[in-house]
Amino acid sequence: MQPSLDLSELNPLKEAVVLAPHPDDELFAIDAIRQLKKQDYKVSIYYFHTPWRRRCEALNATNYLKCSFLEFSNPKYVLQDGKFHLYIDIIFREIKAILPKFSIVLCPALEGGHQDHDTVSLTCKILSSRHTFANHKFYYYSCYNAYSKFGIFNVGIPSQYYPNYRRHDIPCSASVHELLYLMFVVYKSQFKSWIVLGPIMLLLRLATVRCILSNISKVDSNSYNHIFSGIDNPRPLYEIHRRITHDEWLRHTRITLNL
Ligand SMILES: [Zn+2]
């Protein structure tokens, strides 16, 4: 049997943060948000890319989910969709600065779906290996990745697991009705994405009552090679976003973070 989301031996600070690279990414973590709230955690959602319309939608979503709204607000930098990797060092510093306020971090999985999700995920994986954050719990939620080399979307299921990853199955607690409301009423600017991803997400939800989170039981800070393996296979979807290739993303992040 897979371990459930274990919140029992956590540090007493009942504050959790969901890192959402773009407004609407938190919908992939909605069941974990519900679980945390049931256990009296205060949940904040931290958005990185907040142009005006998407910011308004995110405010409505956080209101609906009864979470606090936080955003990347470094006045010197505006993060562009698809280009987070150009600022990965800044993002690294921002996440590091907010982490002391929280005991649980929900972060996108490094899975070869959207390059911005992978950029945020990579920073979390490195920070989770730091002694300073040894008492923090980092959980990774899957958004979407390629199911095969043909680039068919796989939604909400991590592409693969490695020996040092643990899988946590949690109950799907958000209803289909709630998800439809958030996708098509609250986040209506993202209608096209939800037309592609929504049906797969909802079908999976109807087919199973468990949703998946993962965490890394041990990060070897001497070698970060293994954390990149999530994007080796299946083929990353970065090219679909047409702003960067997989190789360019890898080269840039490795050089900037000195990995
Ligand atoms: Zn996103």
* Rounded Cα distance, 233 and 124, in Å: 21
Distance 194 CA to ligand 1 centre (A): 12
Distance 117 CA to ligand 1 centre (A): 6
Question: 112-126, 127-141, 146-160, 222-236 — which is least confidently predicted?
Answer: 222-236
* Structure confidence by residue, pLDDT tens digits, 165-221: 677 888 888 888 999 999 999 999 999 989 988 888 888 878 876 777 777 655 565
Q: Is 5 part of a structural domain of the chain?
A: no
Lowest mean pLDDT among 77-86, 118-127, 177-186, 238-247: 238-247
Tell me how far the alpha carbon of residue 136 lies from the centroid of ligand 1, in angstroms: 24
Tell me the pairing of strands 104-108 and 137-141.
parallel
Does residue 252 carry a pLDDT above 80? yes
Is 88 among the domain residues? yes
Residue 7 lies in a domain: no
Tokens, residue 51: 């142009």
CA–centroid distance, residue 42 to ligand 1 (Å): 23
Q: Which residue has the higher pLDDT, 247 or 229?
A: 247
As separate numbers, helices (DSSP H) first and strands (DSSP E) second, the chain gives 8, 9
Q: How far is the CA of 12 from the centre of ligand 1 (A)?
A: 30
pLDDT(4) > 60:
no
pLDDT at 147: 67
- pLDDT confidence tier of residue 20, bands split at 50, 70 and 90: very high
What is the Å distance from ligand 1's center to 258 Cα? 25
How many A from CA of 114 to the centre of ligand 1? 7
Mean pLDDT of 224-250: 70
Q: Tell me, what's the pLDDT at 1?
A: 45
Position 233 confidence tier, pLDDT thresholds 50, 70, 90? low
Q: How far is the CA of 9 from the centre of ligand 1 (A)?
A: 31
Which amino acid, 224?
Answer: Y
Specify if 161 maps to a domain: yes
Q: What is the 8 CA–ligand 1 centroid distance (Å)? A: 30
Domain coverage including residue 66: 15-257
- Can you give the CATH number for the domain in which 193 is found? 3.40.50
User: How many angstroms is it from 23 CA to the middle of ligand 1?
Assistant: 7
Q: Computed from CA positions of residues 195, 237, 88, 79, in that sequence, does the dihedral angle turn out positive or negative?
A: negative
- Residue 1 Cα to ligand 1 midpoint, Å, equals 31
Asked whether residue 111 carries a pLDDT value surpassing 50, the answer given is yes
Instruction: Give the SS3 label for residue 16.
Output: strand
pTM of the model: 0.88
State in Å: Cα 240 to ligand 1 middle: 13
Name the band, by pLDDT with cuts 50, 70 and 90, for residue 144: confident
| % of the chain at pLDDT higher than 70 | 80
103 inside domain: yes
CA 151 – CA 181 distance, rounded (Å): 28
Cβ distance 11 to 34 under 8 Å? no
Cβ–Cβ < 8 Å for 178, 198: no
Q: What percent of the chain has pLDDT over 90?
A: 45
DSSP 101-126: G-SEEEEE--SSS-HHHHHHHHHHHH
pLDDT tens for each residue of 58-106: 999 999 999 999 999 887 888 989 899 999 999 999 999 999 999 999 9
CA 192, 115, 33, 68 dihedral sign is negative
Sign of CA dihedral 174, 179, 182, 187: positive
Q: Is residue 50 part of a domain?
A: yes
Domain count, the chain: 1
- Residue 56 in domain: yes
Indicate whether 153 pLDDT > 70: yes
Comparing 250 with 4, the larger pLDDT belongs to 250
Q: What is the pLDDT of residue 16?
A: 96
CA of 26 to the centre of ligand 1 (A): 9
Of the two residues 255 and 239, the one the predictor is more confident about is 255
Neighbours of 42 (CB within 10 A): 15
Does any domain span residue 10? no
Centre of ligand 1 from the C-alpha of residue 162, in Å:
24
Q: Ligand 1 centroid vs 219 CA: distance in angstroms?
A: 25
